């Protein structure tokens, strides 16, 4: 008996959201999407009962993992993404033996993914609460709670566990009943919050730095304090890198423009209907063919590496110098320092005096981060294309089943696949590497609101695709016959 037969009784009984029977009206999809989004914002503001807050262990990955520091959604989409990484690697190595075209294997795949998510919640949540000391129990509550401090920690973990499970099912609700993807929507929501705060947060708002607009209003009206003369070198540096944030504004706008442009760059393969004369179409192979979503997997892998370093540092104290040196919870030397992604200008502009490391150490860290993102982006883009039925073989079958063919070629799946192989693999690798390069550059130059480069890239790309999906939904609502043509 194979592993599928042994695991089938468990995987097929994993709780799931029921699929809609028939077509879901567009307004109802928007209602479900808006409702889940409101629930997400509410849960990110529900703090963990019984926990004393400390520094965020995820830090620079927080906007990417779409959670709330110290809230019941502290883990965010982290367990889902980590489980996806494991499945991507197992599927890429063909160790699962699952055929996604088989309905039975589809159920097993979805059940396995949920089971892995639960495992990842335990693997990340338990060390965070019990081993890392990142959520010390409230002494007052521990004095009266059953089990004392140990019991309070189990209560904290229970809240984190429930929050992570809610994220899993909220994502499934949006995927089946709403518009777009829950994971993408949560990332957009978290990043948009930071962007708006970085632009419009007024002075005096607690726990928030004043935004770009209030700062410039203060500069223009002359009410800004501790501002050097703008005609000197210090003044220009203040406008570009300091309170003026001009470089961050330019970087943010440039990333928006590049991603929107890259989404529109495509190779269009002509198609014609085999039976209906005059019926023609085009199959677009976009420059960012695999989308920006594989970047979540790359950054999540980095986040897990840094999480491991923080846990080891908190448990073992002083690590070997070659492995990692920490100060205030941040790596300042060793392997974990070089594997940490660059975040902000102050981490690599050594000539400003804000970096303690030697220039060669900073350049080596930049090279490792760049190589990790470019190569990792290309590799995970390939895995993404193959596991989501976007590869040459799956695409050729889809075109063949739709009754279309490439003009001048025989109507044969193998022939169409060979044509697709000329474009899809190359574009997939090029697009994944390009997105990785943009993410590193955006991180190095800084963005409005301190949003990570990867988070900004994801937000722009997801919003662009969400716009396309909404336009398609509206078109099908206006013309129901089109929905029947596309199998809706």
Domain 245-482 -> CATH class: mainly alpha
- pLDDT of res. 415: 84
> Quick check: 59 pLDDT over 60?
yes
- pLDDT of res. 485: 45
- pLDDT of res. 348: 85
Q: How far is CA 164 from CA 8, 72, 81, in A?
A: 24, 8, 12
Tokens of 387: 């596991």
Averaged over 84-90, what is the pLDDT? 78
- pLDDT of res. 116: 92
Q: pLDDT tens digits for 425-463?
A: 999 999 889 888 988 888 888 888 878 777 888 888 888
- pLDDT of res. 398: 82
> Quick check: 40 pLDDT over 70?
yes
The confidence band for 16, taking pLDDT boundaries of 50, 70 and 90, is confident
Q: Mean pLDDT of all residues in the chain? A: 82
Domain boundaries, the chain: 26-184, 212-244, 245-482
Lowest-confidence pick of 122-131, 267-276, 473-482: 473-482
- pLDDT of res. 36: 93
Architecture field, domain 26-184: Orthogonal Bundle (1.10)
The confidence band for 276, taking pLDDT boundaries of 50, 70 and 90, is low
Domains 26-184 and 245-482 share a fold: yes
């Amino acid at each position: 008996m194979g592993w599928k037969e042994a695991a089938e009784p468990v995987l097929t009984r994993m709780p799931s959201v029921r699929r809609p029977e028939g077509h879901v009206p567009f307004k109802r999809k928007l209602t479900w999407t808006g409702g889940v989004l409101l629930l997400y914002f509410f849960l990110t503001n529900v703090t963990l009962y019984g926990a004393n807050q400390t520094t965020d262990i995820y830090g620079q990955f927080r906007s990417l993992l779409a959670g709330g520091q110290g809230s019941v959604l502290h883990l965010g989409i982290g367990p889902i993404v980590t489980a996806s990484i494991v499945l991507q690697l197992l599927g890429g190595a063909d160790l699962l033996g699952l055929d996604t075209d088989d309905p039975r294997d589809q159920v097993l795949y979805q059940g396995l993914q949920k089971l892995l998510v639960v495992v990842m919640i335990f693997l990340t949540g338990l060390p965070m609460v019990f081993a890392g000391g990142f959520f010390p129990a409230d002494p007052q509550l521990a004095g009266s709670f059953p089990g004392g401090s140990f019991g309070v920690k189990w209560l904290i973990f229970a809240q984190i566990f429930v929050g992570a499970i809610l994220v899993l099912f909220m994502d499934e609700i949006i995927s089946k009943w709403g518009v777009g993807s829950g994971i993408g929507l949560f990332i957009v929501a978290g990043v948009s919050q930071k962007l708006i705060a970085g632009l419009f947060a007024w002075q005096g708002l607690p726990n928030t730095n004043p935004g770009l607009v209030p700062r410039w209003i203060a500069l223009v009206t002359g009410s800004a304090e501790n501002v050097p003369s703008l005609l000197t070198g210090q003044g220009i540096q203040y406008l570009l890198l300091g309170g003026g944030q001009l470089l961050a504004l330019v970087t943010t706008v440039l990333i928006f423009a590049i991603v929107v442009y890259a989404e529109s760059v495509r190779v269009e393969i002509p198609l014609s209907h085999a039976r209906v004369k005059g019926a023609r179409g085009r199959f677009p192979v976009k420059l960012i063919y695999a989308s920006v979503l594989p970047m979540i997997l790359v950054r999540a892998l980095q986040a897990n590496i840094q999480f491991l370093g923080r846990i080891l540092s908190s448990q073992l104290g002083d690590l070997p110098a070659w492995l990692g040196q920490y100060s205030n919870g941040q790596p300042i030397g060793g392997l974990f320092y070089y594997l940490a992604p660059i975040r902000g200008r102050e981490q690599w502009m050594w000539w400003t005096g804000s970096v303690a490391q030697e220039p060669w150490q900073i350049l080596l860290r930049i090279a490792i981060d760049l190589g990790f993102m470019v190569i990792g982006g290309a590799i995970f883009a390939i895995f993404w294309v193959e596991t989501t039925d976007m590869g040459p073989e799956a695409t050729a079958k889809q075109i063949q089943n739709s009754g279309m063919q490439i003009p001048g070629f025989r109507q044969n799946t193998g022939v169409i696949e060979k044509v697709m192989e000329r474009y899809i693999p190359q574009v997939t690798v090029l697009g994944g590497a390009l997105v990785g390069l943009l993410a590193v550059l955006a991180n190095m130059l800084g963005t409005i609101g301190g949003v990570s480069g990867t988070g900004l890239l994801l937000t722009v790309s997801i919003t662009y695709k969400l716009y396309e999906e909404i336009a398609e939904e509206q078109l099908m609502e206006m013309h129901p016959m089109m929905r029947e043509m596309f199998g809706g």
